[in-house]
Amino acid sequence: MSTLIIVGTQWGDEGKGKVVDLLTSRADVVVRFQGGNNAGHTLRVAGEQVIVHLIPSGILYPDTLNVIGNGVVIDPSVLMEEKIGLRSRGYFLNDEQLLISDRAHVIMPYHKLIDVGREELLGSAKIGTTGRGIGPAYEDKAARIGIRMGDLLRPEVLRNRIAVALEEKNFLLEHRFKKRPLDADTIFNEYAAFGEKLGPHICDVTHVLQGKIAEGRRVLFEGAQGTLLDIDHGTYPFVTSSNVVAGNVCAGTGISPRKLEQIWGVVKAYSTRVGSGGFPSELKNDLGERIRERGAEYGATTGRPRRCGWLDMVVVNHSVQLNGLTGIVLTKMDVLTGISPIKFAVAYELDGKVIDRVPADINDLERAVPVYRELPGWTEPIGECRSFDELPRNARHYVETIENLTGVPATIVSVGPGREQSIVRKPPF
Ligand code: IMP
Would you say residue 142 has pLDDT above 70? yes
Q: Which of 21, 28, 41, 111 is catalytic?
A: 41
**What pLDDT score was predicted for residue 302?**
80
**What pLDDT score was predicted for residue 227?**
98
- pLDDT band for position 202 (cuts 50, 70, 90): very high
Domains of the chain in sequence order = 2-102+203-262 (3.40.440.10), 105-198 (1.10.300.10), 266-424 (3.90.170.10)
- Give distance in angstroms: CA of 51 to centre of ligand 1: 16
- Average pLDDT score over residue span 26-30: 95
Q: Which of 13, 28, 230, 334 is catalytic?
A: 13
CB 132 within 8 A of CB 115: yes
CA-proximal residue: ligand 1, atom 16 (nearest): 38
Pocket test for ligand 1, best of 75, 113, 119, 240 (most atoms within 8 A of CB): 240
Would you say residue 275 has pLDDT above 90? no
Would you say residue 1 has pLDDT above 70? no
CA-proximal residue: ligand 1, atom 20 (nearest): 12
**What pLDDT score was predicted for residue 416?**
95
- pLDDT band for position 425 (cuts 50, 70, 90): very high
Pocket test for ligand 1, best of 32, 75, 130 (most atoms within 8 A of CB): 130
**What pLDDT score was predicted for residue 41?**
82
Lowest-pLDDT choice from 19-28, 128-137, 339-348? 19-28
* C-alpha–C-alpha distance, residues 139 and 231, integer Å: 12
Query: What is the residue-wise DSSP string for 58-101?
Result: GGGSTT-EEEE-TTBEE-HHHHHHHHHHHHHTT---SGGGEEEE
Within 6 Å (CB) of ligand 1, which residues are found? 11-13, 38-40, 127-130, 132, 134-135, 224-225, 229, 238, 240-241, 274-275
**What pLDDT score was predicted for residue 303?**
86
pLDDT of 295-336, one tens digit each?
A: 999 987 788 999 999 999 999 999 999 999 999 999 999 999
* C-alpha–C-alpha distance, residues 221 and 357, integer Å: 27
259 burial (CB, 10 Å; 0-12 / 13-18 / 19+) is: middle
Round the average pLDDT of the chain to a whole number and report it.
96
Active site (annotated) includes residue 105: no
Active site (annotated) includes residue 232: no
pLDDT of 90-111, one tens digit each?
A: 999 999 999 999 999 999 999 9
CA-proximal residue: ligand 1, atom 9 (nearest): 129
201 burial (CB, 10 Å; 0-12 / 13-18 / 19+) is: buried
- Average pLDDT score over residue span 63-89: 96
* C-alpha–C-alpha distance, residues 4 and 33, integer Å: 13
**What pLDDT score was predicted for residue 222?**
96
Counting atoms of ligand 1 from 1, which one is nearest the CA of 135?
Answer: 4
- Give distance in angstroms: CA of 19 to centre of ligand 1: 19
